[in-house]
Amino acid sequence: MNHAIARRRPTRRALLGTAVAALPALGLAACGEVTVEGQAAASEELTIADDQGREVTLPGPARKAVVINSYANEFVRAIGAGDRVVGVDRSSLDRLPYLELAEEQVIAEGLDQLNYEAIAELGPDVVILPRNAVWQEALEQLSAFDIPVVIATAWDTEVVDATLSLLGQVFGVEDGAQAVLDFRSEIAALLEERLVDVEPVPMYFETVEPYLTTLPGSGFHAMIEAAGGTNIFDDASGGDAQEELTVDPTEVVLRDPQFVMHEFEPSAEPADRFDALREGLEARPGWGGLDALADGRVAIANGWATSALGKSIGAVYLAAWLHPEQMDGVKPDDYLTRWVTEFQDTELSDVADYVQGPLG
């Protein structure tokens, strides 16, 4: 069975955003009247502050943009400006095939490998980069082409709301950004209401690589706490820039988590890795004695699903697994489906292609 996601036609919201962006400035040059075209252009100019505190002046809402980082591309699409993206990085195209961009529109092989001449040839109104990209170099290189650079770090869950608002300003789709913010707020309010006074469940979270876990300050740690869990490594330190750390396998066993979750690399293209990953966890030395594994309290997920919307979708799933009684009646699959169909404007083949919770 082919589970590849199907592409959909642009939503009314996306089409409306495109139509508004395409409206020309009015001119009244006929019959000897004074034209206001130049005045309109000047009034359309906007100055924004990016997430590095830099003031960036744009000639108006971006009609063509190069966007680096898959999470940023998800947000741009979610706010209704996805059709204005003319260039992306390799990872974005690999992870998000529904972007429907051609190979020649890949202008970066990584966050530190940007093809500036290729970017210039696309003629974007703005280039959007996360703070962990080579944005200082990009500023210098793109200044020769008079292309503005905006720093917006969509992967950082601590600044998700600010990033969405910033992107709404860049593209002039503040209403679209607010719709995404409202969806996040809806999820946050649900979790706060349902999980009040719950006893946190100690859990171990693993991302991508064996024994690579999350520390306080990371988005995954915040997701665990929002879901009514407690991170068994909340006392650890020494993580990388994203507050992730490879831990001693023995230490996981000693800390005896009551729930285990592994999230593998995000991709909108389904990857059938669930059985292999679950069996791999069970086969780890010493892990046979963990109650979480013995009782089937293990979840495996594709990061495209559970890291979506600043980890908000993952928080709903995790809360339902950790506190099924308090979350009775809540269907996490519905939230994922809404994110994919309404905000990513594509179709979801089968939720089980992306998220598989505890057995039994």
pTM score, two decimals? 0.86
Residues 75 and 140 in one domain: yes
Structure tokens at 67: 């966007």
Phi-psi region for residue 80, left (φ > 0), alpha (ψ -120 to 50) or beta? left
Structure tokens at 239: 């993580």
Tens place of pLDDT per residue across the chain (360 aa): 333 444 343 443 333 333 333 333 323 233 333 333 444 444 589 999 999 999 999 999 999 999 999 999 999 999 999 999 999 999 999 999 999 899 999 999 988 999 999 999 999 999 999 999 999 999 999 999 999 999 999 999 899 999 999 999 999 999 999 999 999 999 999 999 999 999 999 999 999 999 999 999 999 999 999 999 999 999 998 888 778 999 999 999 999 999 999 999 999 999 999 999 999 999 999 998 899 999 999 999 999 999 999 999 999 999 999 999 999 999 999 999 999 999 999 999 999 999 999 986
Q: Which domain holds residue 118?
A: 13-173
Residues 149 and 227 in one domain: no
Q: pLDDT tens digits, residue range 217-254?
A: 999 999 999 999 999 999 998 888 778 999 999 999 99
User: Crossing angle for the helix pair 70-78 and 174-194, nearest 10 degrees?
Assistant: 100
- Domain count for the chain, please give it: 2
Distance CA 22, CA 41 (A): 13
Q: For tokens 């507050």, name the residue.
A: 243
For residue 49, being part of any structural domain is answered with yes
For residue 72, being part of any structural domain is answered with yes
Q: pLDDT tens digits, residue range 94-122?
A: 999 999 899 999 999 988 999 999 999 99
Structure tokens at 217: 């300050």
For residue 133, being part of any structural domain is answered with yes
For residue 52, being part of any structural domain is answered with yes
For residue 59, being part of any structural domain is answered with yes
Which of 173, 197, 227 terminates a domain? The answer is 173
Residues 156 and 223 in one domain: no
Residues 63 and 101 in one domain: yes
Residues 231 and 284 in one domain: yes
